[in-house]
Chain A
Amino acid sequence: QQQVKQSPQSLIVQKGGISIINCAYENTAFDYFPWYQQFPGKGPALLIAIRPDVSEKKEGRFTISFNKSAKQFSLHIMDSQPGDSATYFCAASFTGGNQFYFGTGTSLTVIP
């Protein structure tokens, strides 16, 4: 059973465009939602994270939008650059839990 569902599986965006990746979850006990970025041959690296007490968090060109009632959260990459081309994973966890539940990943390609 996939605890966190991620879409799309792959995404192609023109340089300068906005990349949007969506995730949905079922477990209302989740209270921490990170996004990880993974380049080929490397392990994932934390990009940005949000807790459900806020609806949006922005760090540079990266923004998480969080909709608690819909149990959805999304990553927006503004002014997408070729260097952003990577696989992005959303994840969820809850306080006191040991596990992080990861989405299946989105392969982003930014075309120059």
Chain B
Amino acid sequence: GAGVSQSPSNKVTEKGKDVELRCDPISGHTALYWYRQRLGQGLEFLIYFQGNSAPDKSGLPSDRFSAERTGESVSTLTIQRTQQEDSAVYLCASSDWGQGRRVRRNEQFFGPGTRLTVL
């Protein structure tokens, strides 16, 4: 079946502009994660959605960052008033882990990412 998809694949924007990144998770996956990957660095957790529960926003670096998800479907990550330090690859992952589901391991399936460049 289809994997996790993200759009756009690349986004170049000017400092101060708002951007919206989209993630389509694997159908049926209740868990959805957003990560930031700066050049040459590891994955930095941003936010976690699990079904209809309140999201875990503890990784969002500032109030310029926000994310929404409707039920178990598409999620959007919005960055307002972008800064040059926001330049990174933004990765989305989904999983069928959690909420009592009997799955063998918490395998996160990642999308290809959105490369954001803030000029």
Contacts and interface: CB of A to CB of B under 8 A. Distances in A.
Interface of A: 4, 6, 32, 34, 36, 41-46, 49, 89, 91, 93, 98-105
Contact of B110 (A6, A32, A43, A98): A43
Q: Which of B35, B40, B43 has the most CB of A within 10 A?
A: B43
B43 A102 contact: yes
B42 A103 contact: yes
A41 B112 contact: yes
A98 B59 CA distance: 11
A89 B41 CA distance: 10
Q: Which of A34, A41, A46, A101 has the most CB of B within 10 A?
A: A46
Interface string B84-119: 000000010100000000000111111111000000
Given A32-B106, A99-B45, A43 B4 contact: yes
B108 A100 contact: yes
Given A41-B112, A49-B105, A104-B41, 15 more contacts: A34-B107, A43-B4, A43-B91, A44-B43, A46-B105, A46-B108, A89-B42, A98-B50, A98-B56, A99-B48, A99-B58, A100-B33, A100-B108, A103-B42, A105-B40
